[in-house]
Amino acid sequence: MSAFESTAPDGTISLTCSLEGVNCAGCIAKIERHLNSVEGVVLARGNATTRRMRLVWDDAKTNSVVLFDAIGALGYTAHPFDPTQNQPERSSLLGPLAVAGFVMMNIMALSVSVWVGLVTDMGSGTMGFMHWLSAALTAPAVFYSGAVFYGPALRALRHGRMTMDTPITIAIFVTYAASLFETLRGNEHVYFDAVVSLIFLLLIGRVLEQKLSKRSGMAAENLRAMMNVTARRKTHSGHEDVPADLLMPGDEVLIEAGEQVPADGILLNNLVQVDESPLTGESLPVNIVTNAPLAAGCLLVTGPAEMRVTHVGSDAQLSRIAALAEEAAAHKGQMQELADRFARGYVPLVLIGGAVGFIWWYFIAGADFGEALMIAVAVLVVTCPCAAGLATPAVSARAVDILMQAGIVLKSGAALERLAQITQVVADKTGTLTTAQLQPDADMNTLRAAAPLAAGSSHPLARALSGAVPMKAASDLSEVAGQGMRTQDGRVLGSAAFVGVASSAEGPELWFQQSDQPPVRIGYDETPRDGLDDFLQGLRQQGLPLTILSGDREGSVARFAKAHGITDWKSEQSPEAKLHYLRSGDEHVLMLGDGINDAPALSAASVSASFAQATQVAQSAADLVLLQANPARLIPAIELARQAHKLILQNLRFAALYNIITVPLALAGWLSPLLAALLMATSSVIVLANGLRLRMQG
């Protein structure tokens, strides 16, 4: 298995690859269909914006070499995506662009001379020489710069396919061939300037498109780049510097303040502070104590730190998060599927449109050959499905990036669409809206008096009390196992029976008594999650009702709901009951849960969320994973999803309007090939730039 491949718990192998020769959603769709027909392939999902594909396969039936060969058989090139290497996509276009630009400037100078000659009666011999000189100058632009378009188009045609490059290639070669034919005939009108300008403008559009595309879908790349650091590994004679990818579980490394953690591990020395913002979005430093986990990519604020490595490479949390981000960017929603189907069927219509335009103008309208040809070329160039194909992935890739930066892992692009449509939020209580920590509920004088007794006990309730009011343990303590604590001066802390009272109250409790004073009850409430109040306020502002479905007893759920102004709640809910509730309603529900018993409900909801600290089962079932256990982070995520939905609709409407307007104009002869090329390139740039308008609030 190569260093770029990772193994999932179910034994499947996954890899992200970069694709060369891919220029539209139709290309991605063809590769997906072909790979999904290969035995052993579990998943093949690509993204036209990032030009990458996520592959998952059964190692017993196939391997990456077979899959890359299958991609190559379609006329494309695939290689493992390596975030540590600069991708050559945009730089590979600069040479063809420079040649096309140089040729265009010289051709324009010759064309001006010819145009002036038409007025000043330039001799036919001189004009012919100028035309042949233009033909020679144009050749490098056509056969070198134009290879960016006709190379993929010809490879696709050899496999019986057409791509968006097909009509562009036909337009380039038809115009060049027609110009050569007119030159041979000694005609005054040739179109070398048009074909070179066409190539130059199309290449400018392609460069801008790739530049904007690179700004979308950068989250996973940036995360993986954080692991491309040098680690200081402990040896028998001291320390040695090694690349982080050469570390092994069990290695001990030294990290200085200001350095990045090179791998997942556990802290061996005393308290340090780390910046976990790359993982959680939390800007404040976090205290890490001895034997607590450290995650790769985090920045050490105070140090030094000694760490024992536990996970490296693709097994590190940072790599797993990056893989989820890539999978989300590749996952298609309903609108993307519709756009892909449109793009697949559009290219043949483009060719038919160009042919119809030529036939009408030349054979019916009586236009001369050159005019009819330029109209056909304009139709071929302007009617490009690029804008429609990029409409959804341009926004989805940007959304995945923004959510990742905010500490939210979106596992499915389709979930982004569903998140924008939710009408209700359902949440578990214990461990979801609350933490596992218990908070003692009594007046402060009672807590201070009981704290010295609690400090000497290991009982969870006593430890919670001691944590809330830290004090030294009393020196004259005696403990009755499972019942309580007693001091020689008559203070007692323990169960109701131990203190000698009858209690019918619900929920966890301790009783405290001092000498001859009446016993006092210390109740315990679950500690609300950080950000709970902001979460509830945000839901109200969004107009989203919240329902609690909890397995806890009625009294506990009722107290919590009343304390936080929640009116809709249900207690003693089994996993089956939660599942029934979700399936019986008509609402689009966002389910928030953390436990194994929440997994069925998380899977059944329209869209679901969990925390990185939740059980692995809950995380696997959820569509979104919050790296920071703060439910308030869902509010800007919901707003972002709704904003993304609006931008996708804007892009799709723009793509439809663009074709509705430009195709008739081209067929009517009102668009030159140069203006058609400019409009086509601009349409793709506008769609990509519109996706970059996406912003997260809060």
- The arrangement of strands across the sheet holding 434-441 comes to 434-441, 520-528, 509-513, 492-494, 484-487, 477-480
Closest by CA position to 371, among listed 175, 212, 180: 175
How much is the pTM?
0.68
Provide the CB-side half-sphere exposure for 284 (13 A, CA). Answer: 3
Burial tier of 437 (Cβ tally within 10 Å: 0-12, 13-18, 19+): middle
Neighbours of 162 (CB within 10 A): 19
| The token pair that represents 264 in the structure block | 């997942």
CB contact burial 398-411 (16+ within 10 A = b; e otherwise): bbbbbbbbbbbbbb
Q: Which residue has the tokens 């020679």?
A: 136
What is d(CA 357, CA 374) in angstroms, rounded to the nearest whole number?
10
**Amino acid 502: pLDDT:** 86
Region at 203 (left for phi over 0; alpha for psi -120 to 50; beta for the rest): alpha
**Amino acid 232: pLDDT:** 92
Annotated catalytic sites, by residue? Answer: 428
Region at 161 (left for phi over 0; alpha for psi -120 to 50; beta for the rest): beta
Low-confidence ranges of the chain (pLDDT < 70): 1-3, 9, 23-25, 49, 83-91, 111-124, 188-189, 209-227, 278-284, 323-345, 384-389, 413, 436, 615-617, 698
Q: Mapped to the 3 state alphabet, what secondary structure does 395-424 carry?
A: HHHHHHHHHHHCCEEECCHHHHHHHHCCCE
In what helix (H) or strand (E) does residue 43 lie, and over which residues does it extend? strand 41-47
Closest by CA position to 190, among listed 231, 138, 240: 138
Neighbours of 276 (CB within 10 A): 23
The answer to whether residues 426 and 549 touch, using CB atoms and an 8 Å cutoff, is yes
> Strands, E, within 348-404: which ranges?
none
**Amino acid 170: pLDDT:** 86
Decide: helix, strand or coil at residue 140: helix
Decide: helix, strand or coil at residue 55: strand
Closest by CA position to 253, among listed 311, 303, 309, 294: 309
Region at 686 (left for phi over 0; alpha for psi -120 to 50; beta for the rest): alpha
List of residues 6+ apart from 561 with CB closer than 8 A: 548, 567, 569
- The C-alpha R_g of the chain, in whole angstroms, comes to 33
| The token pair that represents 166 in the structure block | 């097909």
The per-residue pLDDT for range 44-55, each reduced to its tens digit, is 888 776 778 888
Pairing of strands 424-427, 546-549: parallel
What is d(CA 104, CA 140) in angstroms, rounded to the nearest whole number?
11
The answer to whether residues 672 and 575 touch, using CB atoms and an 8 Å cutoff, is no
**Amino acid 119: pLDDT:** 47
**Amino acid 138: pLDDT:** 92
What is d(CA 296, CA 319) in angstroms, rounded to the nearest whole number?
9
| The token pair that represents 614 in the structure block | 């939740």
What would the DSSP string read from start to end of 622-675?
-SEEESSS-GGGHHHHHHHHHHHHHHHHHHHHHHHHHHHHHHHHHHTT-S-HHH
| The token pair that represents 330 in the structure block | 């590749």
What is d(CA 405, CA 411) in angstroms, rounded to the nearest whole number?
14
What is d(CA 128, CA 179) in angstroms, rounded to the nearest whole number?
12
Q: Which residue has the tokens 């030094």?
A: 304
Question: For the range 599-608, what are the long-range contacts, defined as Cβ-Cβ under 8 Å and sequence gap of 24 or more?
Answer: 599/575, 600/575, 600/576, 601/426, 601/549, 601/575, 604/579, 605/426, 606/418, 606/421, 606/422, 607/415, 607/418, 607/419, 607/422
Closest by CA position to 15, among listed 409, 319, 316, 249: 319
What is d(CA 123, CA 606) in angstroms, rounded to the nearest whole number?
76
The per-residue pLDDT for range 657-695, each reduced to its tens digit, is 998 999 999 999 998 887 887 888 788 788 888 888 888
Q: Which residue has the tokens 């904003």?
A: 643
Region at 173 (left for phi over 0; alpha for psi -120 to 50; beta for the rest): alpha
| The token pair that represents 12 in the structure block | 């499947």
